[in-house]
Structure formats: C-alpha cells, structure tokens
Amino acid sequence: MALSTVKTTGEMMTTLRFFLAHYIKVKKIKLAVEGRCEVCRKECALDDLVIHTFINEDEAEKHLLEDLEEFLLVLCSRCHGDIHEFDAPLEEQGAVVRRRPEKIRTQIRKILAYAPKTVQPPDSDLEDAYREACSSRFRYGA
Ligand SMILES: [Zn+2]
Ligand SMILES: [Zn+2]
C-alpha cells in the first residue's frame, strides 16, 4: 500500500482511538524505537513521547492494524508540537516513516497485530477512554 493512495482530508488526526485504548502497545512501540523521537532522535522518557498518527479513523478502519505502522510516528513533545503547528505535509511525515529501520518496522507491525481476543476491551470502555482523553490533553490537537 502506497502512502500516496491515502486521501488528505486536511484534518490532522492527533492519535487514533486505537492507541488511546491500548496503553501497553503504545509503550511497546515507544520502546521499539528505543525511546527516541523519530524526528530529532532525542532520547526521552517514555511519558514524554507521543504516538502521532496521520490517518483518520475512517481510513484507519480500512487497514489491517499492522499497516498502521505506516501512519504513525513516535515524537517528542516538541517535534509533535511542530508537526501540528506547521501542518507538516503527509508526504514529509511518510518520508520519516520510510527512513525507519526495517528491524524496527517489523517490530512495530508485530506489536500492532498482536491482539489476544480475551483482553479486548468492550466497546463502552473504549469509548470512555476516548472521551476521557478528548476532554483533557488531546482536545486542542495536542
Ligand atoms: Zn499528533
Ligand atoms: Zn523530537
């Protein structure tokens, strides 16, 4: 799947519901990139890193979970702020993903694809987690 096939809606999603609901996966992905911002390479505390996604919920639903690897970046809060403030083109964001080492890409795809049915939260919990996050730091496109 090529990035160019993804429609630009002009609306930059900050993070997918999926990541708001899967804290453990988020943590594992941050560890997969060695706790470094993928743009400035600065080493950060895991809590200071954000998983930024550049695909909207509708598009994301059409992809396999593991394919979301192509639409996410692990960023420090500063780079994350910049990417939103300067409205970085999807092309540029995709270029950062393409520079990601193959080993790390594989690792992230594995983390994303791993879904034991038994611990899947019911939809209501997921909605709550989303609403909670929206009401706090994610509200203004943080
Ligand atoms: Zn973001
Ligand atoms: Zn950074």
Task: Count up the domains in the chain and report the number.
Answer: 1
50 Cα to the center of ligand 1, angstroms? 8
Tens digits of residue pLDDT in 55-100: 999 999 999 999 999 999 999 999 999 999 999 999 999 999 999 9
pLDDT (average), residues 119-139 = 57
Q: What is the extent of the structural domain holding 74?
A: 10-135
Residue 142: inside a domain, yes or no? no
130 Cα to the center of ligand 2, angstroms? 25
Q: Could you tell me the end-to-end alpha-carbon distance of the chain, in angstroms, rounded to an integer? A: 28
132 Cα to the center of ligand 2, angstroms? 26
Residue 102: inside a domain, yes or no? yes
C-alpha dihedral sign at 13, 109, 31, 98: negative
Residue 33: inside a domain, yes or no? yes
Distance CA 62, CA 70 (A): 13
CA angle 57, 100, 1 (to 5 degrees): 50
Q: What is the pLDDT of residue 142?
A: 45
Whole-model pTM?
Answer: 0.72
Distance CA 23, CA 136 (A): 16
42 Cα to the center of ligand 2, angstroms? 6
